[in-house]
Amino acid sequence: MVLLPPVIPPPLDRVQARAQRLARLKAPEAAAQIIQPLQQRRDVAGMCVMYKAHRMQLLQLAELRLNPRARPSHSTIAAHNIDHQVTVPFARTEHYLCSFLPRYGRLWNTLVRQTDLHLTTSMHAFKSGVNGWLQAELTQ
């Protein structure tokens, strides 16, 4: 389960909710499959940036690269994935907590703990895998 802070729906999400209601009125059976949630699309795009910064190590994204998490002093269940997790910066305010680095740092660590998608070699495979993973998280 992905634990993220509650987000107040921005105007685009309200527009999307209204568009979904209108689509359900016109074609109830196809409406759910047509429109993907905007927050999920944002999360997939953010995770792709994290993948490019950490796995592909693009120089343009070096400023977004977070420090690796410190190794634990004792053996743990998730010790095999600790090398791929990142240290999430401390967020003093709710505004900073929802900004890019803390939000996607936490989401990246959750992805690393739950899946092996971060080890894929192709961007397309990673993107489609993250999309499926986030969709499964939404349905739980």
Segment 83-139, tens digit of pLDDT: 666 777 777 777 666 677 888 888 888 888 888 888 888 999 999 999 999 988 877
The answer to the question of residue 27 being in a domain is no
Residue 40 in this model has a pLDDT that exceeds 90: no
The answer to the question of residue 94 being in a domain is yes
- Of the two residues 58 and 71, the one the predictor is more confident about is 58
CB atoms within 10 A of CB 97: 16
Amino acid, res. 114: Q
The predicted model gives 60-82 an average pLDDT of: 62
The answer to the question of residue 76 being in a domain is yes
Q: What are the helix (H) ranges across 55-114?
A: 94-97, 100-114
The answer to the question of residue 5 being in a domain is no
- Buried/exposed 80-93: b ≥16 CB within 10 Å, e otherwise: ebbebbbebeebee
The predicted model gives 18-28 an average pLDDT of: 81
Structural domain total, the chain: 1
* DSSP code at position 9: P
The answer to the question of residue 32 being in a domain is no
The answer to the question of residue 20 being in a domain is no
Show the domain range for 79: 38-139
Q: What is the mean pLDDT of the chain?
A: 76
